[in-house]
Amino acid sequence: MTSIAVIGCGKIGEALVAGLTAAGVDPANVTVSNRREERSAELTERYGVTAVTDNSEAATGAEIVFLCVKPDKTLAVAEEIAETVNDNEPTSTVASMAAGVTLGALEAAMGAGAAVVRVMPNTPMTVGKGVSAIAAGRYVDDEAADAVAELLSSVGDVVRVAESDMDAVTALAGSAPAYLFLVAEALVDAGVSLGLRREVATQLAAGSVAGAGAMLEQEGADPADLRAAVSSPAGTTVAALRQLEESGLRGMFFRATEACARRSAELGAVDEEDEGSGEE
Ligand SMILES: NC(=O)c1ccc[n+]([C@@H]2O[C@H](COP(=O)([O-])OP(=O)(O)OC[C@H]3O[C@@H](n4cnc5c(N)ncnc54)[C@H](OP(=O)(O)O)[C@@H]3O)[C@@H](O)[C@H]2O)c1
């Protein structure tokens, strides 16, 4: 079984560990590293994984090293573990989950010939329902890219994309659960405004979002067809949909995703400038 290191086990690192261990990955093959010992202890207790506070120790002997620290820390951590990773036998693949940070910058930080993959996941992988996009660097062979994809497929769908698509992917996958949670939250408030008790409104809103998601997962499902199927002529649903369209819902998503993709590109540009100037 593949040995895995997860460096920086915050929200996305923990989502990965939770999803993998729930999917049957043996915790004995997973090492996580964090700066704080109490966080490490918490992760060991929760998932049975080995937890350390030294990133290079975590990366020692790992076949796949997931970098799950914030984008502004990713290149520094890559440099920190580079020697260990390059000495590993068999060779490790480093899978960065950082928004914006480019393959070129990661390869430069890791040293010539390093096998680096960019992954843009999302937190539903906690419950095995994530969607991850992968773009492999130039030193990653098919076998190594397949190994990362196979591991991630145990916690949800995996899509291969060109690196140039990664900022758009961040807007459609990495950040999208938050938009949908906001929609659910707004529905709850709307239900309360209509006179429902908050717990009833929460149950109805969460159930509707989850149920719609399950329908979308069915083979051949198309969102436009599904929406049309619940829109009777002159009925209640079209009355609501008309309000959403007149309030500019589609335009809001165009603008929101553009802002997200722009921010992802900015995060990468900042890291590359820092790398060039040698700043910490
Ligand atoms: N959250 C998402 O939904 C999501 C989705 C897609 C991609 N991502 C990407 O995932 C990455 C992590 O995001 P996140 O939301 O999980 O952030 P987070 O919750 O802040 O987790 C980052 C973790 O890294 C630890 N850390 C910081 N510096 C470290 C170091 N030098 N060595 C080892 N560990 C260190 C932090 O520990 P401390 O608590 O000690 O600071 C924290 O536990 C980002 O690059 C982000 O772009 C996130």
Neighbours of 94 (CB within 10 A): 29
Handedness of CA 200, 204, 209, 211 (dihedral sign): positive
269 pLDDT tier (thresholds 50, 70, 90) = confident
Q: Is the dihedral of CA 255, 258, 76, 125 positive or negative?
A: positive
pLDDT at 224: 97
Q: Which pLDDT score, from 0 to 100, does residue 255 have?
A: 98
Domain extent listing, the chain: 4-161
Tokens of 18: 């939770």
Is 90 exceeded by the pLDDT of residue 256? yes
What confidence tens digit (pLDDT) does each residue in 69-106 have? Answer: 999 999 999 999 999 999 998 889 999 999 999 999 99
The mean pLDDT of the chain is 93
Residues 6+ apart with CB under 8 A from 28: 48, 50
The pLDDT of residue 278 is above 60: no
For residue 220, the CA-to-ligand 1 centroid distance in Å is 35
Q: How far is the CA of 7 from the centre of ligand 1 (A)?
A: 9
SS3 at position 134 = strand
Question: Which is the closest atom of ligand 1 to the Cα of 14?
Answer: 16
Q: Is 55 marked within a binding site?
A: yes
Sign of CA dihedral 76, 77, 80, 85: negative
Question: Would you say residue 1 has pLDDT above 90?
Answer: no
Taking the centre of ligand 1 as the mean of its atom positions, its distance from the CA of residue 11, in whole angstroms, is 6
What dihedral angle (degrees, nearest 10) is formed by the CA atoms of 135, 138, 141, 144? -50
Torsion of CA 168, 174, 178, 180, to 10 degrees: 70
Q: Which helix (H) or strand (E) is 45 found in, with range?
A: helix 37-47
Mean pLDDT of 150-159: 96
Q: Helices 71-87 and 249-277, interaxial angle, to 10°?
A: 50
198-229 per-position pLDDT tens digit: 999 999 999 999 999 999 999 999 999 999 99
Q: Out of 34, 122, 129, 182, give the residue to mutate to test ligand 1, the one with the largest number of ligand atoms within 8 Å of its CB.
A: 34
**pLDDT (0 to 100) of residue 228:** 96
pLDDT for the residue 234: 95
Distance CA 122, CA 15 (A): 8
Are 90 and 144 within 8 A, CB to CB? no
Place of tokens 């996305």: 12
Residues with Cβ within 8 Å of residue 40, at least 6 apart in sequence: 9, 32, 33, 34, 51, 52, 53
Q: For the chain, what percent of residues have pLDDT higher than 90?
A: 91
The Cα 46–Cα 69 span in angstroms is 20
d(CA 213, CA 148): 26
Name the residue of 6, 11, 74, 175 whose CB sits within 8 Å of the most ligand 1 atoms, as the mutation to test its pocket.
Answer: 11
Its CATH architecture, for the domain 4-161, is: 3-Layer(aba) Sandwich (3.40)
Residues with CB under 6 A from ligand 1: 7-13, 33-36, 55, 68-71, 73-74, 77, 97-99, 120-123, 174
> Rounded mean pLDDT of 38-55?
94
